[in-house]
Amino acid sequence: MTGVGKGDDVKPSRLPRVRLSVLRGLRRGRDSRPEEAARHRSVSSMGSAAAGAPSAGMPSTAPPRAVPERGIVPTTGAIPRQSIATPPAGATARSTVGEPVVAAGVEDSRDATWRRLRRMGKPRMSRSNVLATALTLCLGFAIATQIQQTQETGLASLRQDELVRVLDDVNQRSSRLDQQVRELEAQRDVLTSGANTAAEAATQAQKRLDQLSILAGTAPARGPGIALTISDPGGAVHGPVLLDVLQELRDAGAEVVQVGAVRVVAGSFFTDAGSSVTLDGQPLSRPYVFLAIGDPKTMASAMQIPGGIVDTARRLGANAVVEERRIVEITALHTPKTPRYAQPVPDAGTPGGSS
């Protein structure tokens, strides 16, 4: 085997083979992986090193390395895809179309926003929505049912003692109204008869004045009635209970009422002041004594009916005693006050009245 010295000519068949391998690596480097590119570079470097550096004791047979021309950079690895950059579609469209493309982008974003809002406002069948709907329907059904039952039942839902009280009140009011009708008809007949009209008118006027004085509490009164005594050692009877007693007496036909030393009028009121009770600002002492003028039987029955005042006082730990009297004296008077805001309305026949 004949060696080749440093000064010998290089065979021309070796140089094209090296260039062919480089070109093949360039063609293959576009789609090759980084590992393959690294392996190719290592092989190329080893080949070039083997071609350029002769082994010890043996003359080199590799051709000399090709020196690249000025301005040309040799490439031995894969060319990244990013290096072959293509202009984005938006840039091309923007350069060719211009302003309409920007408007189209704004319209697309606006449509996307409206789609998102419609998607957010669309009702969803979640557990909380289903529960809220069910509760609303149940509440509406319950309210409608309660209103219908209240309208249909009426007196059917009341207890026996409440029905007795309602019936007694209705009978008493009917009796009082009938009596007032008879009295007014008698007065009309007397005034229209023509005999002693002036004297009869004066008599009727005085009688009316006496009645109004009794109702206003400015005149003493006497007549049949009852005396109701409520003993309250424990202090459990307060103003609301005494107000119920007064209402029951008025419903039973009481015309004049006195509590302790205070005359009861239309504007009377009860107030709790600590452990005591006041009537029209005046303190009441225990036991509470009610004097009422009216039909004794009717008022006594109204106090003693089931669920009435006697039962209420017993439930509170107090004791109520009703006494019917043939004559009840009511001497307490009420001092009327001049109204500050209310003014009388003149009759239609007076000069200041309306026709």
- Looking up tokens 């109702």 gives 215
Query: Does the pLDDT of residue 36 top 60, yes or no?
Result: no
Measured CA to CA, the distance from residue 139 to residue 127 in angstroms comes to 18
Burial of 134 (0-12, 13-18, 19+ CB in 10 A): exposed
Give the model confidence (pLDDT) of 174-231 as tens digits: 888 888 888 888 878 877 776 667 777 788 788 888 888 888 899 999 999 999 999 9
248: helix, strand or coil: helix
Q: Is the pTM of this model over 0.75?
A: no
Name the more confident of 237 and 39: 237
Name the more confident of 272 and 124: 272
Which domains, and CATH codes, for the chain? 6-50+73-83 (no CATH), 89-119 (no CATH), 173-330 (3.30.70.1880)
CA distances from 168 to 173, 253, 269 (A): 9, 11, 25
Q: Could you tell me the pLDDT band of residue 23, with boundaries at 50, 70 and 90?
A: low
Q: Could you tell me the pLDDT band of residue 316, with boundaries at 50, 70 and 90?
A: very high
| Residues with Cβ within 8 Å of residue 182, at least 6 apart in sequence | none
Give the model confidence (pLDDT) of 281-315 as tens digits: 999 999 999 999 999 998 998 898 888 899 999 99
pLDDT the model gives residue 102 = 53
CA distances from 139 to 152, 222, 322 (A): 20, 58, 48
pLDDT the model gives residue 55 = 45
pLDDT the model gives residue 57 = 44
214: helix, strand or coil: helix
Query: Does the pLDDT of residue 146 top 80, yes or no?
Result: no
Query: Does the pLDDT of residue 324 top 90, yes or no?
Result: yes
Q: How many CB atoms lie within 10 A of CB 48?
A: 15
pLDDT the model gives residue 240 = 93
pLDDT the model gives residue 171 = 83
Query: Does the pLDDT of residue 119 top 90, yes or no?
Result: no
Q: Could you tell me the pLDDT band of residue 168, with boundaries at 50, 70 and 90?
A: confident
Name the more confident of 334 and 131: 334
Q: Kind and range of the H or E element at 252?
A: none
Measured CA to CA, the distance from residue 237 to residue 245 in angstroms comes to 11
| Residues with Cβ within 8 Å of residue 252, at least 6 apart in sequence | 168, 172, 294, 295, 298, 299, 301, 302, 303
Contact 225, 328 (CB under 8 A): yes
Q: Which of 97-101, 103-107, 240-244 bottoms out in mean pLDDT, i.e. has the lowest?
A: 97-101
Instruction: Please spell the DSSP secondary structure of 86-130, one letter per residue.
Output: ---HHHHHHHHT-HHHHHHHHHHHHHHHHHHHHHHHS----HHHH
- The answer to whether the peptide bond before residue 64 is cis (omega within 30 degrees of 0) is no
Measured CA to CA, the distance from residue 243 to residue 294 in angstroms comes to 18
Can you say how many angstroms the Cα of residue 347 is from the centroid of all Cα atoms in its chain?
50
User: Average of pLDDT values for 57-74?
Assistant: 49
